[in-house]
């Protein structure tokens, strides 16, 4: 493939071979080793400040009227053209110069600028037309090549191929490894230019993965966004990356990558829609099971259809529900979340049936255990995997409450039904509690009871109870220091054990005794009375629902 066909223009050498310039008997007097430069356009001009009118890549035609009479002017003229990055300077000899001055030739040689003198007069308009025609033809040829690659990519997809086949076609065409990464730079797919080329994963680690965050993309890399079709006009779903390993990518390679990106956008959109539908379908099944719309006897067969095979008959099932913070989008990212969480769960090593419920902001799942004794260990690993998946999917906003993970009781399908329902409600009731990797659903029963009471409390009974129980302390803490509510909460959390309370609050015992006495005085109660302790504990738990 010649440079003309791949660059979308023509070289200086090719321009000199066209009839217009060839008829002028061109002589290259400087930059003969740089005639492969691409000519982007042709310009003719005779003004001294011509460099300021150019953009780079031009073949400049002149009779020399603007070059100046003194050597200093001539050197400055040539230097400015070289700095502007023109392709070549062509000077027609005649009335202005019978031979190019040494100052012009030497400066062009020093700057590496191709300099050509024409020994015969030529019509510049003819030269311009010929070169521009070649450039247009070159661009057309370039587009044809890119279109051919696009056609091959489309045929591969229609023939049942996927993203790896598209990347392989691009890699073969460009002669360089090609990658598809997420919008935040995580590698999805890789393809090598051929069997004899370097391992693309090693290339990725060496050229892309180590430098992109610090230095931006490697030199010569081509990056093309794959449109995301999201809510923002500039939404990006993924990114095509061509790394310059075997050779520098050419303009035609970028055009081909841009054409392929449009096809990949459709593929990814379809895949995400199918993935989200599947995840929602599993979420609907788990919700129907929780709500009793699926009988426990019928559930195993339906779960097998969804790909869930927990183990031998009678193996315990563990219900888990993750609830995300309020205010997250109800679509789009849930497919990404389902995939990310599923990939993280794969490392846990237990069968899992994962679904999503975007409207409720929940991710329900069932896990297959070998025995009930491994419940805690599996819950630890699953909770970490769930949170990692949320992070990867970009569903954890800065400063937002972390997702709440609630683990139910292990048992059979009937227990799983009740456990999923219990865990789902408990996950909602646990919003606002002190963050933990996961909560045992059984230890949230009081919070769940208070949440249900608040949910149906049209008369404000719960708020009135909280105000009666701890209202004086809340009023004190608003106007005085130190606040006393944290002291009471820690004291009750340690079941009235004063030594442990003092250690956690970093107080000496006398200071703690004084604070507890002040609390008793403000509330008019005895902190050693079991009924008082129970009421205060409930009020402290209920206050997050009524504030």
pLDDT value at residue 151: 87
pLDDT value at residue 13: 93
pLDDT value at residue 216: 56
In order along the chain (547 residues), what is the average pLDDT of each group of 10 residues?
49 92 94 92 91 92 91 94 95 92 95 95 92 81 80 81 82 84 73 66 57 55 75 61 77 83 78 73 91 90 88 90 75 75 87 89 93 93 91 77 92 94 92 88 91 86 91 91 92 91 93 93 91 91 82
Q: Where are the domains of the chain?
A: 3-135, 140-269, 275-415, 461-546
**Among candidate residues 415, 416, 414, 438, the one with its CA nearest the CA of residue 426:** 438
pLDDT value at residue 120: 94
Distance CA 435, CA 219 (A): 44
Determine the CATH number of domain 461-546.
1.10.10.2840
Determine the CATH number of domain 275-415.
3.30.70.2730
**Among candidate residues 449, 509, 515, the one with its CA nearest the CA of residue 486:** 515
Is the model's pTM score more than 0.75? no
pLDDT value at residue 330: 47
Distance CA 332, CA 336 (A): 7
Distance CA 422, CA 441 (A): 7
* Per-position b or e across 381-390, b if 16+ CB within 10 A of its CB: bbbbbbbbbb
Q: Does domain 140-269 have CATH number 3.40.50.460?
A: no
Architecture of domain 3-135: 3-Layer(aba) Sandwich (3.40)
DSSP-derived 3-state class of residue 381: helix
């Amino acid at each position: 493939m010649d440079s003309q066909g791949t660059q979308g223009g023509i070289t200086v050498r090719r321009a000199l071979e066209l009839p217009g310039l060839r008829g002028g008997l061109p002589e290259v007097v400087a930059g003969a080793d740089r005639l492969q430069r691409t000519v982007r356009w042709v310009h003719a001009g005779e003004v001294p400040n011509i460099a300021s009118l150019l953009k780079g890549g031009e073949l400049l035609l002149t009779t020399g009227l603007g070059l100046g009479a003194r050597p200093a002017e001539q050197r400055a003229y040539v230097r400015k053209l070289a700095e502007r990055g023109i392709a070549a300077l062509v000077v027609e000899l005649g009335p202005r110069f019978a031979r190019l001055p040494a100052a012009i030739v030497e400066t062009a040689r020093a700057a590496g600028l191709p300099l050509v003198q024409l020994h015969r007069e030529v019509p510049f308009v003819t030269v311009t037309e010929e070169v521009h025609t070649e450039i247009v033809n070159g661009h057309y040829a370039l587009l044809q090549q890119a279109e051919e690659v696009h056609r091959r990519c489309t045929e591969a997809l229609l023939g049942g191929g996927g993203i790896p086949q598209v990347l392989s076609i691009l890699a073969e065409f460009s002669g360089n490894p090609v990658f598809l990464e997420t919008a935040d730079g995580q590698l999805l797919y890789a393809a090598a230019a051929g069997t004899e080329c370097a391992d693309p994963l090693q290339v990725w680690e060496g050229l892309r993965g180590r430098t992109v965050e610090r230095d931006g993309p490697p030199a010569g890399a081509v990056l093309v966004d794959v449109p995301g079709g999201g809510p923002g006009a500039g939404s990006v779903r993924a990114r095509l990356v061509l790394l310059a390993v075997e050779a520098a990518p050419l303009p035609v390679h970028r055009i081909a990558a841009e054409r392929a990106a449009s096809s990949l956008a459709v593929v990814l959109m379809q895949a995400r829609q199918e993935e989200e539908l599947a995840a929602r379908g599993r979420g609907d099944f788990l919700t129907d099971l929780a709500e009793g719309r699926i009988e426990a006897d019928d559930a195993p067969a339906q779960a097998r259809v969804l790909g869930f095979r927990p183990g031998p008959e009678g193996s315990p099932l563990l219900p888990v529900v993750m609830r995300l913070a309020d205010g997250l989008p109800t679509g789009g990212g849930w497919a990404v979340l389902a995939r990310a969480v599923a990939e993280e769960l794969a490392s846990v090593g237990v069968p899992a049936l994962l679904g999503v419920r975007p409207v409720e902001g929940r991710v329900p799942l069932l896990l297959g255990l070998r025995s009930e004794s491994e419940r805690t260990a599996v819950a630890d690993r699953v909770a970490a995997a769930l949170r990692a998946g949320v992070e990867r999917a970009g569903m954890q906003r800065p400063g937002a409450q972390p997702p709440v993970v609630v683990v139910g009781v292990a048992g059979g399908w009937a227990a799983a039904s009740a456990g999923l329902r219990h865990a789902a409600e408990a996950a909602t009731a646990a919003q606002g509690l002190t963050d933990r990797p996961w909560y045992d659903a059984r230890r949230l029963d009081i919070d769940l009871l208070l949440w249900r009471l608040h949910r149906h409390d049209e008369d404000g009974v719960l708020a009135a109870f909280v105000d009666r129980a701890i209202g004086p302390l809340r009023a004190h803490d608003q106007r005085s220091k130190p606040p006393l509510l944290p002291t009471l909460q820690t004291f009750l959390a340690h079941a009235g054990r004063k030594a442990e309370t003092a250690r956690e609050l970093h107080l000496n015992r006398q200071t703690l005794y004084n604070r507890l006495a002040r609390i008793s005085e403000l509330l008019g109660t005895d902190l050693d009375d079991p009924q008082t302790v129970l009421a205060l504990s409930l009020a402290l738990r209920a206050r997050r629902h009524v504030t």
